[in-house]
Chains A and B, each alone.
Chain A
Amino acid sequence: DVKVTQSSRYLVKRTGEKVFLECVQDMDHENMFWYRQDPGLGLRLIYFSYDVKMKEKGDIPEGYSVSREKKERFSLILESASTNQTSMYLCASSLLRLAGTDTQYFGPGTRLTVL
């Protein structure tokens, strides 16, 4: 079974703080993704990574950065948290870049509140 874990289920931070959200997968997947989920907006892609030290912007990268120093770990960084970044953050991973086969598996999510 694929297991994707996220460091915190709930997090409360203050405006202006630097925030790190960690994600680890144990299935040797190449691809990792960060999404945020907001009511009425579905899931939106923030950043993704094909390989170690590689990163690509998703649909809403502004205000975020990422780090992938090891294959199994993908970190989302909020350099200076703002209240509009209050959201549910979901990490996902998938195995290979093969067309038609790349199902993503999600972690349990981190509910971040920025005060």
Chain B
Amino acid sequence: GDSVTQMEGPVTLSEEAFLTINCTYTATGYPSLFWYVQYPGEGLQLLLKATKADDKGSNKGFEATYRKETTSFHLEKGSVQVSDSAVYFCALNGEDTGNQFYFGTGTSLTVIP
């Protein structure tokens, strides 16, 4: 079945460091891929998405490229800020899952000044 494997955390970075959070997926067909962010005490918010191969999703300085050849959707940011401290979830919605999402286990990011 469909699944998402996400880099385990926690991740601690200094401000202005480069961020990569790895995400790979297993799915039949052509799923849509997403990154969600959860700030402390809040629900999940959609950060970015890509719906077909080679698409790049971007938002708030974060980027992720849908790589079908490597079944990956890694999240990157060139210069993180303290306000980026949160938990990040990779997710997919497969073609045949009836709009049901599959989430990764989440990666906690802490950015220190």
State yes or no: do A and B come from one complex: no
